[in-house]
Amino acid sequence: MITLDDITLTFPDGDARITAVDHVSLTAPNGVVTGITGPSGSGKSSILAVAATLIRPDSGRVWIGDTDAAALSRDDATALRRDSIGIVFQQSNLLPSLTAREQLLVMAELGGRSRRSRAAVRLRADDLLDAVGLSGHRDKRPAQLSGGQRQRVAIARALVNDPGVLLVDEPTSALDQERGGEIMDLLARLTRERQTATLLITHDLVHRDALDELITVVDGRASTAAHRVEA
Amino acid sequence: MFVAWRDLRFARGRFVLIGSVVALITLLVGFLAGLTGGLASQNISGVLGLPGDRLVLQKPATGKPSFSESVIDSATRTSWRAAPGVDDVTPVGIVQGRASIHGAASAVGVAVFGLPAGAPASIVADLTPTDDDSVGLSAGAAADLGAQVGDRISIAGSDYRVGRIGGDAWYSHTPVIALSPDAWAGVDRRLGGDGDPTVLAVAGAPDWDAVAASTDTTAMPVLTSVTALETFTSEIGSLGLMIAMLFGVSALVVGAFFTVWTMQRAGDIAVLKALGASTGSLVRDALGQALVVLLAGIGVGITIVAVLGSLAGGVLPFLLSPLTTLLPAAIMAALGLAGAAIALRTVTHADPLTALGSNR
């Protein structure tokens, strides 16, 4: 579970500061896809950046399990991202030199040395590639994959270290509606199967059926409390 | 090194290119170092092959001490022999002239050294004959003259019998021939000198500065005394400058390549940081990658230098030794890594926040 408690985030804007996130509180439970939507510039991605420990808020707490991520040092936050947070970016952000399988294997090397046996990581990677429907593409590089396949690899990569929290930034923005729907369904299925607390940013509500809960953000404020999405 | 190895495999064309440039620069540096070493050997190996802890030269009224200008009179020799702490004084005469084998039409340039028989063992001392009618030839002199033991050679109008042929010793690009002190004095006088030795090879532990000051001489360690050879300092200075410039070029080229390469990868580095990569692991990855490229390029370059050097050794003054191969290679690797380290700023300063499509 991830909980954002009264988060405020400002950025410098000339001599003044502009408020990107204004006293936002929310909770994303395990096994649930919590959507955050809102117009461009509303602060959705800033909320995701705070949740991902990529930026420290001016005030408030970010609880990931029992850890207040907002209070961690830079190095500790990096380690928390590595171990407990999976991130799926708006673009797939795959490394061009790695095959689909290696995109997953690299996640075990990020701390400088592999924390698990290479064989176990390979098994885990192959399982995940099967789970996202890419078992036949594991030796292909990003340039040899379609946009939807690349995003599936990115989702599998985010799940390699078995994170408790999955943060997803506009996963369908570069896909057509059919591929986007498949990705959203995949995320919903994996969230339930792996009991991750999934926080998903989207401005496109065409695929709202895949969301369990939805929070709307306007001008940095969560204007509506999380509500269960009716199919 | 997980990503580094795969980058090397994926972008092998680019890395082969920079590796080739490193190999080429290593080839140039190695070849220049070998030539410099070879030329230096042909310049100073005779001096380095003298016995003693220090070489004493006459201190000129103006300018620096010089092997070609130095003359050590008998009073100076006596003063050094009497100085407390001196164990042994070997007077050495050095003069350059021409020698020819009996019956040959042409003569070759030689350096004629005069030392007493029984001087402390050294490459040059071991050439010294025991009588005034014989000479000892260095290997280079024997080769240039085409002489063998028992042949007769002529130096400055006098004939001598080749008594022995020994190790390789050169002085100012001419091979060394050793004579007895009296025979050497005769040669020196015939060539316009006064027959006095030009250098003292002194062993022991006297108060070097005090004795030198009282005798109007300078006492230099054998290795640094080579600066008193004018041709050596100018020749080695020019070649050394070229080598230093090539080292600089190498560091700049490697640094520029890895800076551009790392900047191209800035987005990937930000993604890896966002996914949880520590800065330390990314730095090790980047430096490890640079080291692989450098070692491969330098390895190829040094191998070519070794092959060409062994082939060229017969026709060029080329010194193939760890000093002219492994040392330049180590300096190349260190400077290359220093150049690559310039690119680390991109790694350490990459902002993982930029991995998000939008951060507001």
Mean of per-residue pLDDT scores for chain A: 87
- Domain membership flag for residue B228: no
Q: Are A178 and A206 in contact (CB under 8 A)?
A: no
What mean pLDDT do residues A149-167 have? 90
B195 with B60, same domain: the answer is yes
Residue that finishes a domain, picked among B221, B248, B276: B221
- State whether A110 and B278 contact (CB < 8 Å): yes
Confidence of residue A230 (pLDDT cuts 50, 70, 90): low
Q: Is A25 helix (H, G, I), strand (E, B) or coil?
A: strand
B241 with B164, same domain: the answer is no
- Residue by residue, pLDDT tens for chain B (360 residues) are 888 899 899 988 988 998 999 899 899 888 888 888 888 888 888 888 888 899 999 998 887 889 888 999 999 999 999 999 999 999 999 999 999 998 777 889 999 999 998 877 788 888 899 899 999 999 999 999 999 999 999 998 889 999 999 888 999 889 999 999 999 999 999 998 889 999 999 999 999 999 999 999 999 998 889 888 888 888 888 888 888 888 888 888 888 888 888 888 888 899 999 999 988 889 888 889 989 999 999 999 999 999 988 888 778 888 888 888 899 899 888 988 888 888 888 888 888 888 886 443
Strand partners, B111: B96, B176
Q: Which residues of B touch A109 (CB under 8 A)?
A: 2-3, 281
- Domain membership flag for residue A36: yes
Q: Which residues of A touch B352 (CB under 8 A)?
A: 54
Using CB atoms, pick whichever of A43, A89, A97 lies closest to residue B355: A89
- For A114-134, b/e burial (b = at least 16 CB within 10 A) is eeeeeeebbebbeebbebbeb
The DSSP 8-state label assigned to residue A70 in this structure reads G
B176 with B160, same domain: the answer is yes
Question: pLDDT by residue (tens digit) across B227-260?
Answer: 888 888 888 888 888 888 888 888 888 888 888 8
Which of the pair, A127 or B120, is modelled with greater confidence? A127
Q: Which residues of B touch A106 (CB under 8 A)?
A: 2-3, 272
Alpha-carbon torsion (B114, B117, B120, B126), positive or negative: positive
B133 with B241, same domain: the answer is no
* A175 CB-near residues (< 8 Å, 6+ apart): A147, A148, A151, A183
CA distance A143 to A155: 17
pLDDT at B360: 34
B277 touches chain A (CB under 8 A): yes
* A107 CB-near residues (< 8 Å, 6+ apart): A82, A157, A160, A161, B275, B276
For residue B332 the two structure tokens come to 């190349």
pLDDT at B259: 85
Identify the CA nearest to A220 among candidates A13, A1, A25, A63: A25
**Containing domain of residue A189, as a range?**
2-94+147-228
Using CB atoms, pick whichever of B3, B9, B355 lies closest to residue A106: B3
Confidence of residue A113 (pLDDT cuts 50, 70, 90): low
Residue that finishes a domain, picked among B198, B221, B244: B221
**Containing domain of residue B105, as a range?**
50-221
- For B214-246, b/e burial (b = at least 16 CB within 10 A) is ebebbbbebeebbebbeebeebbeebeeebeeb
B208 with B140, same domain: the answer is yes
B120 with B154, same domain: the answer is yes
pLDDT at B123: 83
- Domain membership flag for residue A183: yes
Please give the C-alpha separations between residue A180 and each of A135, A164, A184, in angstroms, as whole numbers: 20, 24, 6
Q: Is the pLDDT of residue A112 over 80?
A: no
- State whether A110 and B272 contact (CB < 8 Å): yes
Residue that finishes a domain, picked among B196, B221, B246: B221
Q: How many domains does chain B have?
A: 2
The CA angle A207-A210-A213, to the nearest 5 degrees, is: 105
B200 with B79, same domain: the answer is yes
- State whether A97 and B3 contact (CB < 8 Å): yes
pLDDT at B133: 93
CA distance A87 to chain B (A): 7
- Domain membership flag for residue B227: no
Reported ipTM exceeds the 0.85 cut: yes
B275 touches chain A (CB under 8 A): yes
Find the closest chain A residue to B360 by CA distance. A46
- Domain membership flag for residue B277: yes
Q: In chain A, pLDDT over 70 holds for what percent of residues?
A: 94
